[in-house]
Structure 1
Amino acid sequence: MASRGINVHPLGYHPASLETTTFDVIIIGAGPVANFGEVRLSKAGLSVCSVQYELYGGDCHYFACVPSKALLRPCEALDAAKTVGGAREAIGDKDLDAQAIFKRRDDIVASWDDEPWINTVAKPLGVTLVRGFGRITGKKSVSVQPYQESTLYHLTANIAVIVATGSTHNDLGIPGFDQLEPGKEMWINRDATAANYVPEHLVIFGAGAVGTEMATFYSRIGGKVTLIASSSTVLPKIEPEASKIVRKSLETHGVDIKLSTRATSIVKESTNRLVVTLNNGETITGSVILNATGRKPRTFDLGLDTIGLPGEGAPLEVDASMAVALPEVDNMQTKTGNWLYAIGDVNAIGPTTHMGVYQCRIACNSILSNLKESSPSKGITLPRGSFITKSAITVGGIPQVIFTEPGVSTVGHTMASAQATGLKVRAVDCDMAASVPGAWLYGDNQPGWARWIIEEGTEKLVGATYCCVEASEFVNSASVAIKMGLNLEQLVHVVPPFPTRGEVIRYLLDAAGY
């Protein structure tokens, strides 16, 4: 169960009902990363079985990316509309309707019923879904243990096993936290994104993406929010100027931010009355605590010891094809290459859904290419551009969007990360609210700031940050430029239309001297 009594273990698709226990590929996990693999491998002509312990579609679909953005979008839309004369007067003093937002979120996730998503993805492709906890039991072997049952059902893969089990939250580790009731007094991200009420006083530990996004939402719908973090800034991995803009916005909406601070104890005085003591002696009385202190790979109890690999939260190491580096014991390797692959959060390389999907494409292409070469008689249909590459799997190649208000989108290096790697770089900035006509037309006095990081000598773009309303729509063009190794001389010939906010490119080029 999750918060609100949501059933994450629905009935059906029991392994006892299987007509066969042998498949070409077995995928452990069925979130959006695995879903991409189901589509690609099935369309190529392979039989695929997905083993999923909880809801088909995974955390991203039901408890993370999708519901959190469903909650945050109305905040962004209303705030943007209030900056436009004419719209602002029509809205007047009206504010967000929390219950309407919760209902829209429920509709988007189909009220946590995964059957519509199964009917959209798995069934049309002929993918076999099995509900239960999957474990590796040996080479190309997987056991499935249905929820609240002790019987193990055994499956065999002809070609490969893909681990796509994602990640789970870190333990809070503060004395007293284990006395709090999960889902009511102690929240994790699942509880925050599935809730249908506003806590009296939400105390958030962690100032990363989850912490700042949930602080944005709950403060905007009228909740009292305190944000506590050991870091000296909110969103410490982004550019400091963008961090300052986000912090100012949070504080404007009433969020009490305590940085360079840690909690030393939590005392439960009564139901939903909790006293948090900080290392400076200060005490905070809250009603609900949200643990947003980070996540770790879900490699617990996966049977990895049966093939000589560690688990218990350690990421699975992979090569350029997303194949897991197996020990040279018991002839784990096949004649045509590896049989075990790990994609998404479980390998800890850029733990985002979009990065996991990219990795899944690589893993599937590797599997299909190897099979086409070793067994041409199977008539495998290869996707176009069936390649194996790991070139984007670096910090510099991973775009990210943080849906605070204003939002932040980044790709490549920050100034600090570039200098830490030894790159000789310079930064150019643009105040969008002051410089870009498209921004003036989009909204009145909206904050907007952008930075490019440029490598000296080559003049290549190696990093970009945008902090503004709907910042998510800015990062893709910079991501292409960085990925393709474009320099500013080439970017001069990219002509953004007037009057759009996209003209920030022109102003950044001007700032760089072009």
Structure 2
Amino acid sequence: MTDTESAEDSAPLTYDVVVLGAGPVGENVADRTRAAGLSTAVVENELVGGECSYWACMPSKALLRPVIARADARRVPGLRHLVQGPLDAAAVLAHRDYETSQWKDDGQVRWLESIGAVLHRGHGRLDGPRRVTVEGPDGTRQVLAARHAVAVCTGSRALLPGLPGLDRVRPWTSREATSAQAVPGRLVVIGGGVVAVEMATAWQALGSRVTVLVRGKGLLPRMEPFAGELVAEALTEAGVEVRTGTSAESVTRENGTVVVHTDAGDRVEADEILFATGRAPRTDDIGLDTIGLEPGSWLPVDDSLRVTGSEWLYAVGDVNHRALLTHQGKYQARIAGAAIAARAAGVPLLETDPWGAHAATADHAAVPQVVFTDPEAAAVGLSLAEAEQAGHRVRAVDVDIASAAGAGLYADGYRGRARMVVDLDEDILRGVTFVGPGVGELIHSASIAVAGRVPVSRLWHAVPSYPTISEVWLRLLEAFRDT
């Protein structure tokens, strides 16, 4: 086929399901539909494995793990004197490269093939109902037809602000921040969310002098206020300069140096600049206009992840804007795969109750997240402010995590805080937040309590092992009983 021939000149290949995007979400949709016996094609224009495997979760945590391990070791008597030197940046970056498979997707492709899914390399675009046109790397085009469903799993991209001069400074986004091959001498980070604080933590520990400019009042604005406060305090102690209430007005690059002009009239210089200022859906060039939808928009869905108003189109993961987290996207993919398979089999009524196989209920009120800073911040469900805004009659219960017997054993001088938000009418937890070393491993217990709507009176009978940090659960319940 020549470049000038249309996609209609190529005989369509028909599958039961066509998946746009081979990140963790698309892979899991394919896995579930294949397990149900449906023929499934997956279309990917970049690396199979997606953002998480190569530019987000895996490389960022590979950068952060030695930072946190060193910080933990420094808090243990008899060990701290052995870990006082700098990190071996070259070794950390090499391990990061290993965890990303050197940005090669051979292993992920083999896995996709092992489940029986068919991979089509190229840019996929919707071409009317149940049709996808794939433009391959060589310019050839192939039409894919879906008997039952097309699942859009194309994820999101970094959103850059329209600052004067930005197009000329070669800014970092999360992709460059997690894949950089050298430590910048100075790094300025714009933003106060998860990407901003994690990358500030990593690059400062690797030897960069980091300045964080935050437009708002504090860090991690979607968590309880104390989470951002404790993380900001620790970043400052580590040598990061955190400026809140500060916006970048313009940026330039002068003789290789990035210069940021702030709204306060200050001038901040750095070797690199990272913008961690939000995400946008990767839906601008996937043919949404051919089915009457707005290109570049988030795609609203029901709890089976089917796009509102459609009988065949699904939007799974970041593109539906329900919870921009890999684990939530994979959860949605399991729900979507089950729903697609059930509808393909002619099941007249799907399980749409809160515990059904076809309803993504957890995305409404039980979304967990861990921020891998030092200290870690972990939360699930609603914050106090969110619960009150939703009209629930709630009470916040706060305790110092150091009151748990295991905290002092885990780290000398342990500093951390825990909060549970109790619904006083329903006797359940609406949300839980932990901040402190090692708390990322605590959050799943909270997720079970929140998602399962476990009565607080029953939580008394879930006895934490002694002496562990999990004893904080007992301290929280005691504080709730005694106040």
| Candidates 357, 372, 391, aligned match of 2:345 | 372
Distance 2:324 2:189 in 1: 21
Counterpart residue type for residue 143 of structure 1: T
Query: Among 143, 154, 160, which residue is 1:165 paired with?
Result: 154
Amino acid paired to 2:126: I
Which of 122, 136, 140 is equivalent to 2:126?
136
Q: Which residue of 181, 188, 204 maps to 2:173?
A: 188
- Indicate conservation of the 8 Å contact 1:369/1:386, yes or no: no
Deviation at 1:297, TM superposition (A): 1.1
**1:283 corresponds to which of 236, 243, 267:** 267
* Cα drift, residue 458 of structure 1: 2.6
Give the 3-state SS of the residue equivalent to 2:471 in structure 1.
helix
What's the offset of the Cα at 1:172? Answer: 2.3
**Alpha-carbon deviations, 1:418-449, whole Å to 9, x = none?**
1122222111111112x111011111012121
Aligned-partner residue type, residue 179 of structure 1: R
- Counterpart of 1:397? 366
Alignment correspondent of 1:448 = 416
Map of 2:467 onto structure 1: 499
Contact 1:226–1:258, Cα closer than 8 Å, also in 2: yes
- 1:227-266 correspondence runs (5 A): 227-266=212-251
1:18-43 Cα deviation digits (max 9, x unpaired): 99821111100000011111211112
Instruction: Give the deviation of 1:392 after TM superposition.
Output: 1.8
* Structure 2 residue identity aligned to 1:478: A
Residue 82 in structure 1 maps to residue 65 in structure 2:
no
Which of 76, 82, 87 is the matching residue for 1:96? 87
Aligned residue for 1:437?
A: 405
Q: How many positions carry a matched residue from both structures?
A: 468
Deviations 1:75-115 (A, max 9, x none): 111110111112223x1532311111111111111101100
Matches of 1:283 and 1:371, distance apart in 2? 60
Q: Distance in 2 between matches of 1:390 and 1:356?
A: 10
Alignment of 1:265-276 (within 5 A): 265-271=250-256, 273-276=257-260
The one-letter code of the counterpart of 2:433 is: T
CA distance in 1: counterparts of 2:182 and 2:469, whole angstroms: 36
Q: Give the deviation of 1:345 after TM superposition.
A: 0.2
Deviation for aligned residue 1:146? 2.0
Residue 325 of structure 1 aligns with which residue? 308
Whether the 8 Å CA contact 2:44–2:120 is kept in 1: the answer is yes
Tell me, in whole angstroms, the C-alpha distance in 2 between the residues paired with 1:436 and 1:387. 37
Aligned residues of 2:12 and 2:145 also touching (Cα < 8 A): no
Specify the alignment match of 2:3 in structure 1. none
- Spell out, residue by residue over 1:271-325, the C-alpha distance to the aligned partner (whole angstroms, 9 max, x if none): 2x1211101111111111101001011111111111111122x111111211112
2: CA distance between counterparts of 1:291 and 1:487? 42
**Offset of residue 391 of structure 1:** 2.2
The superposition leaves residues 241-266 of structure 1 with CA deviations (integer Å, 9 ceiling, x where unpaired) of 22111001100111111111111111
The corresponding residue for 2:443 is 475
Secondary structure of 2:373's counterpart equals coil
TM-score calculated relative to the size of structure 2: 0.94
Q: Is 2:388 the counterpart of 1:419? A: yes
How many Å separate the matches in 2 of 1:288 and 1:401?
26
The structural deviation recorded for 1:157 is: 1.1
Q: Is the CA contact (8 Å cut-off) linking 1:451 and 1:508 kept in structure 2? A: yes
Question: Residue 366 of structure 1 aligns to which amino acid in structure 2?
Answer: A
Indicate if the aligned counterparts of 1:365 and 1:386 stay in contact, CA closer than 8 A: no
Q: Is the 8 A contact 1:180 1:268 kept in 2?
A: yes
**Equivalent residue for 1:295?**
279
Residue type of the alignment partner of 2:53: H
Cα distance in structure 2, aligned partners of 1:367 and 1:215: 41
Partner of 1:6: none
Q: Contact between 1:427 and 1:454, CA under 8 Å: does it hold in 2?
A: yes
Q: Is residue 234–residue 247 contact of structure 1 (8 Å, CA) maintained in 2?
A: yes
Structure 2 CA distance for aligned equivalents of residues 401 and 311 of structure 1:
32
1:187 is paired with a residue of what secondary structure? coil
Matching residue's letter, 2:142: Y
CA distance in 1, matches of 2:121, 2:360: 32
Q: Is the 8 Å Cα contact of residues 12 and 142 (structure 2) preserved in structure 1?
A: no
Report the equivalent of 2:143.
154
Q: What residue is the counterpart of 2:51 in the other structure?
A: 59
Q: Separation in 2 of the partners of 1:387 and 1:93? A: 51
Which aligned pairs between 1:202-221 and structure 2 lie closer than 5 A? 202-221=187-206
Deviation at 1:151, TM superposition (A): 3.7
**Structure-2 separation of matches of 1:353 and 1:51:** 19
* Shift in Å, 1:470: 2.2
Displacement of 1:164 in angstroms is 0.1
Q: 1:372 to 1:386 in 2, by over 3 A?
A: farther
Counterpart CA distance in 1 for 2:245 and 2:85 is 36
The one-letter code sitting in structure 2 at the alignment partner of 1:129 is L
Q: Measure the CA separation in 2 of the matches of 1:85 and 1:20.
A: 67
* Match of residue 306, structure 1, among 290, 293, 312: 290
Per-residue CA deviation, residues 183-216 of structure 1 (Å, 9 max, x unaligned), is xxx1111111011211111111111000000000
Residues 127, 290 of structure 2: 8 Å contact kept? yes
Change (3 A) 1:134 1:196: same
**Counterpart Cα distance in 2 of 1:256 and 1:232:** 15
Report sequence identity in percent.
40
Partner residue, 2:453: 485
- State the 1:489 CA deviation: 0.7
Question: CA 1:457–1:159 in 2, change beyond 3 Å: closer, same or farther?
Answer: closer
SS of structure 2 residue aligned to 1:49: strand
Secondary structure of the structure 2 residue equivalent to 1:493:
coil
Corresponding letter in the other structure for 1:391: T
SS at match of 1:512: helix
Equivalent residue in structure 2 for 1:410, among 370, 379, 389? 379
Q: Root-mean-square deviation (CA), in Å?
A: 1.7
Per-residue deviation, residues 128-151 of structure 1 (Å, max 9, x unmatched):
11111100001110001123x544
Q: Which residue identity lines up with residue 403 of structure 1 in the other structure? A: F
The residue number in structure 2 matching 1:21 is 13
Deviation, structure 1 residue 387: 2.3
Q: Please tell me the residue identity of whatever aligns with 2:292.
A: G
Q: Could you tell me how far apart the structure 2 residues matched to 1:418 and 1:320 are?
A: 21
**C-alpha separation between the residues in 2 aligned to 1:366 and 1:418?**
30
Matched, 1:315 2:298: yes
Q: Which amino acid aligns with 2:452?
A: M
Q: Unpaired runs of 5+ in structure 1?
A: 1-14, 327-332, 376-384
Segments of 5+ residues of structure 2 without an aligned counterpart are 1-6, 349-354
Residue 475 of structure 1 aligns with an amino acid whose one-letter code is I
Contact preservation (8 Å) 1:344, 1:356: yes
Q: Contact conserved, 2:12 with 2:143, CA < 8 A, in 1?
A: no
1: CA distance between counterparts of 2:196 and 2:146? 40
Separation of aligned partners in 2, 1:140 and 1:92: 58
SS of the residue aligned with 2:434?
strand
Task: Note the C-alpha offset of 1:450.
Answer: 0.7
Determine the structure 2 residue equivalent to 1:145: 135
